Structure 1
Amino acid sequence: MAQDHDHDSGPAHHQGGAHDHGHHHGPAQGHGHGDSHAHTHMDFAQMLPLLVQEAELFTPAYVQAAEWLREQRPDPELIVDAGSGPGVISGLFAEKFPGARIVAVDGAEPLLTEARARAERLGFADRFSTIEAELSEGVGDLEYPADLLWASRSLHHVGDQRAALTGFVRSLAPGGTLALLEGGLPTRFLPRDTGIGRPGLEARIDAVHDEWFTRMRTELPGSVAETEDWPALLTSVGLRHTATRTFLLDLPAPVSDEARAFAVTALTRRREGLAEGLDAEDLATLDRLLDPDDKASVHHRPDVFVLTAMTVYVGVKPE
């Protein structure tokens, strides 16, 4: 969103999960789900393990975002997680807002099944429900209007983003809050010069990914080009833009086994999904970085880290 950087982590895929000139969860990752699309289609249900892996790893940043939203909206009765994926963030909202009912909305039933199982495991199933719906059609039929609607990197999977936002606003109660996570910065795992191949590999991967993201957007059903000025878009659908804040995920080297595994997964999906846009030297470098038998690979090197930034835009519906 400009596209977000961590749209999806590359054409092969969400997450995360996460990103616009950020990264959405595209070919290699993504949290939200809109309508399906042709050459850049993502099977989000197939990506379930990656979506969970990413969302759980990124939880520290999501916790910061939830606590910030709680300052602005302390006691919501109903929270909607639009484009919820497997429900990791739904669970976080259930924890941070213990008096709220949580509704997870997604277009992929296997992900909603996982979300319901997660709610059972974490003990909030009595105040949790799901709706299977494509976000281009809004968030489905709610018992009563939402006080807080969270949409994390899901809007960019809908062809007509303005129309989807209009649907979100219809589902908000007067005075209700819409929190839109789009944009931010690309996730980085490696130093600029890794000692193998040309320096700047991840920047070149990001450039190819942005081209992929542009194609993904144009191939969505009913695609409408929008300047990715999120505050202006919120205002255009009748909301009052009240705040924007960016949350940092900073997992420095040496990373945990979980963070290293995520780096391997994300770079693998980028290698698979973006291969056509990368030159032979960069592909060879990626192959070395992903080879578990190579001591210079992400599996072994001590300088692997995870660093990204996620931006949340908040709009409030007039009373």
Structure 2
Amino acid sequence: MSHPHTHTHTHAHAHQHGQHDQHRHQHSAEDDAALAEVLDLDAEVLAEHLAAITDWLPLERAPQRIVDLGAGTGAGTFALLRRFPEARVTAVDASPGHLLRLREKARALGLDGRVTTVQADLDAADWPDLGTPDLVWASASVHHLADPGQALRRVRGLLAPDGLLALVELAGFPRFLPPDAPVERPGLEERCHAATDHLHAEHVPHRGADWGPVLTAAGLTVTGERTVAVDIAATEHPSVGRYALAALRRMRTAVAELLDPADLAALDRLLDADGPDSVALRPDLAVRTERQVWAARR
């Protein structure tokens, strides 16, 4: 499902500085594993919100064939399989590591007979054969593409005549800390967000787009739109602390060179899992964000 989006800059940064292939592959594997942890925790903590979105989808009938574009480690795939027990899902992602993790989860849940994985770059000139799905699910993936309009036109061509596209996007990276935290550097998280916003403007220009006009331009008709607010306190879910720790560690990777040294030191104290100031130990944490959903037909 959703990707907390701090990985694009670090990936681009490695390419811009021309590091050799072996280093890039090592970096990519490490980044893949870190992102997979965040995706898994995102799916765990936001499971009820995800279920609410799948319940809302304006479908005329239960889909049999579903394509999950940018499936990651399977948050959307498994939510859709739970919601539609007769359906089969083709999970598409560029990361072999994420797809391996998804297949392992499917086997553990006894769902491997209902899941097919396809490794593909959605920016490539040609897409693999994905059949004629009744539902295409694209969560936190389309904004990463170089040409989202082209991808959405391809989705239109894939869909069955009465098929539906569900486009889900995050309204930015989640917030976790209260505004006055930490005591020695109040507002630290907002300054980290300001730094990532600067990076995303350069490297992920489609993040935060109004997708309604883009869908229309791709030949699709928007049939539903919804915003889902997320506000989950650490006292309400046992994994909020671990989610905050994993997500903020990824944010640190992206913004370390842009932060004031005092801010970076304060952030490192929060990210020391064994330290007394570990963010995972804070009782005042909450996951706060929004998810926006567009439903569209041919």
After TM superposition, the score normalised by the length of structure 2 is 0.85
Alignment of 1:244-259 (within 5 A): 244-254=225-235, 256-259=237-240
Structure 1 residues 77, 282: closer, same or farther in 2, change over 3 A? same
Alignment of 1:107-186 (within 5 A): 107-137=94-124, 140-142=128-130, 144-186=131-173
Instruction: State the Cα distance separating 1:306 from its structure 2 match.
Output: 1.5
Secondary structure at the counterpart of residue 186 of structure 2: coil
Amino acid of the structure 2 residue aligned with 1:62: L
Per-residue CA deviations over 1:131-176 (Å, capped at 9, x if unaligned) read: 111112475202x311110111111221111111111111111121
Is 1:311–2:292 an aligned residue pair? yes
Structure 1 residues 28, 166: closer, same or farther in 2, change over 3 A? closer
Structure 1 residues 28, 254: closer, same or farther in 2, change over 3 A? farther
Instruction: State the Cα distance separating 1:196 from its structure 2 match.
Output: 1.8
Alignment of 1:19-30 (within 5 A): 24-27=4-7
Of residues 233, 252, 255, the one that matches 1:271 is 252
Structure 1 residues 236, 102: closer, same or farther in 2, change over 3 A? same
Check conservation: 2:136, 2:155, Cα contact below 8 A.
Answer: yes
In 1, Cα distance between equivalents of 2:13 and 2:143: 12
Amino acid of the structure 2 residue aligned with 1:190: L
In 1, Cα distance between equivalents of 2:289 and 2:64: 31
In 1, Cα distance between equivalents of 2:101 and 2:248: 25
Structure 1: which 5+ runs fail to align? 1-15, 19-23, 30-34, 219-224
Alignment of 1:14-163 (within 5 A): 17-18=2-3, 24-27=4-7, 38-39=15-16, 43=28, 45-46=32-33, 47-69=35-57, 71-137=58-124, 140-142=128-130, 144-163=131-150
Q: Give the corresponding residue for 1:196.
A: 183
Is 1:285–2:296 an aligned residue pair? no
In 2, Cα distance between equivalents of 1:52 and 1:249: 17
Secondary structure at the counterpart of residue 163 of structure 2: strand
Secondary structure at the counterpart of residue 187 of structure 1: coil
Structure 1 residues 114, 214: closer, same or farther in 2, change over 3 A? same
Amino acid of the structure 2 residue aligned with 1:248: A
Amino acid of the structure 1 residue aligned with 2:47: T
Of residues 274, 281, 284, the one that matches 1:300 is 281
Check conservation: 1:151, 1:179, Cα contact below 8 A.
Answer: yes
Per-residue CA deviations over 1:41-74 (Å, capped at 9, x if unaligned) read: 98363332332222222212111111111x5343
Structure 1 residues 286, 28: closer, same or farther in 2, change over 3 A? farther
Amino acid of the structure 2 residue aligned with 1:249: V
Structure richer in helix, relative to its length? 2
Check conservation: 1:177, 1:316, Cα contact below 8 A.
Answer: yes
In 2, Cα distance between equivalents of 1:264 and 1:26: 14
Query: Percent of aligned positions with the same letter in both sequences?
Result: 36
Runs of at least 4 residues of structure 1 off by over 6 A? Answer: none
In 2, Cα distance between equivalents of 1:296 and 1:36: 30
Instruction: State the Cα distance separating 1:296 from its structure 2 match.
Output: 3.8
Check conservation: 1:81, 1:150, Cα contact below 8 A.
Answer: yes
Q: Give the corresponding residue for 1:261.
A: 242
Q: Give the corresponding residue for 2:224.
A: 243
Check conservation: 2:64, 2:88, Cα contact below 8 A.
Answer: yes
In 1, Cα distance between equivalents of 2:250 and 2:207: 27
Structure 1 residues 266, 125: closer, same or farther in 2, change over 3 A? same
Structure 1 residues 53, 292: closer, same or farther in 2, change over 3 A? closer
